[in-house]
Amino acid sequence: MNTSSAITKLSQAMLKVQQQLQPAIKDAKNTFVGNDYATLNSVMETCKDALISHGIWLTQLPCPAPVELGTGHIALETKLIHAESGEWISSTAVIPLPKNDPQGMGSAITYARRYSLCAMLGIITEDDDGNAASNPVQKQARQQRVKAQSQKPVQESKNDSSRALPKLDGVTYKNVQADDGRMCVVATGVTLDKKEMLKAAGFKWNSQQKVWWKYAVAA
């Protein structure tokens, strides 16, 4: 974490921001894992107005990753700037690219943005059911988005890495982008009698989609 020489006015403004912050609603479902998560849109919806009303400028910009990590990584700097005083605080997240192409870069940046923003502002997430009584109209809209998201087919890409994957007769691997932006490895083919070896390699069975899968990069 880096800061300007003084952050007194920024800290005072951020205290007011955090007094207004509400939990980000889990508005989408990861169809591979089956869990709900808060999208970047939900996180931004939670904090944008509070930041603006108290004069905080938010920037999230890609930047070079440390050279010692080699290729296949991207860094993202999240910075909060107090518009009146110019005081600032920043933090940089470095994450591996799920794929070394523009699609992989976009997914990695989106993933880094929402996690970095939650960490910087102290945003937590909650299930949609928590707001049912207070705002049923908003809940219904979010449920419709979750349903549409869960029905959207995942985007497939040609497998670009077989590293750390067991070589099994009749089994092939491909990279699939999950709904939360992360890349998963899916094992296809003759997998029925290979389940123990797939489990040992970290694969999990998705009973809904009938596939063996695991994250391409650990969280």
Measured between alpha carbons, how far is 116 from 139 in angstroms, rounded to an integer? Answer: 26
b or e along 98-124 (b: 16 or more beta carbons within 10 Å of the residue's beta carbon)?
bbeeeebeebbbbbbbbbbbbebbebe
Residue 212 clears pLDDT 80, i.e. is over it: yes
Q: What is the mean pLDDT of residues 101-126?
A: 90
The span from the CA of 103 to the CA of 95, in Å, is: 15
Please give the full DSSP string across 59-85, using - where no structure is assigned. EEEEEPPPGGG-SSEEEEEEEEEETTT
Whether 160 and 142 map to the same domain: the answer is: no
Per-residue pLDDT at 181: 66
Residues 88 and 112 occupy one common structural domain:
yes
Q: What is the dihedral of CA 190, 193, 195, 197, to 10 degrees?
A: -100
Q: How far, in Å, CA of 47 to CA of 38, rounded?
A: 13
Counting residues of the chain whose pLDDT is more than 70, the rounded percentage is 78
The domain tally of the chain equals 2
Would you say the pTM of this structure is higher than 0.75?
Answer: no
Among residues 151, 166, 198, which one ends one of the domains? 151
pLDDT at 101: 82
Tens of pLDDT, residue by residue over 64-83, are 898 888 888 899 999 999 99
Domain boundary at 151, 173, 198, which?
151
Has residue 17 got a pLDDT over 90? Answer: yes
193 shares its domain with 130: no
Amino acid at 144: Q
Instruction: Tell me the β-bridge partners of 57.
Output: 81
Residues 184 and 136 in one domain: no
Residues 169 and 204 in one domain: yes
Residue 190, pLDDT score: 82
Residues 159 and 65 in one domain: no
Which residues form the domain of 99? 2-151
Instruction: Work out the percent of the chain whose per-residue pLDDT is above 90.
Output: 37
**Are 104 and 74 found together in one domain?**
yes
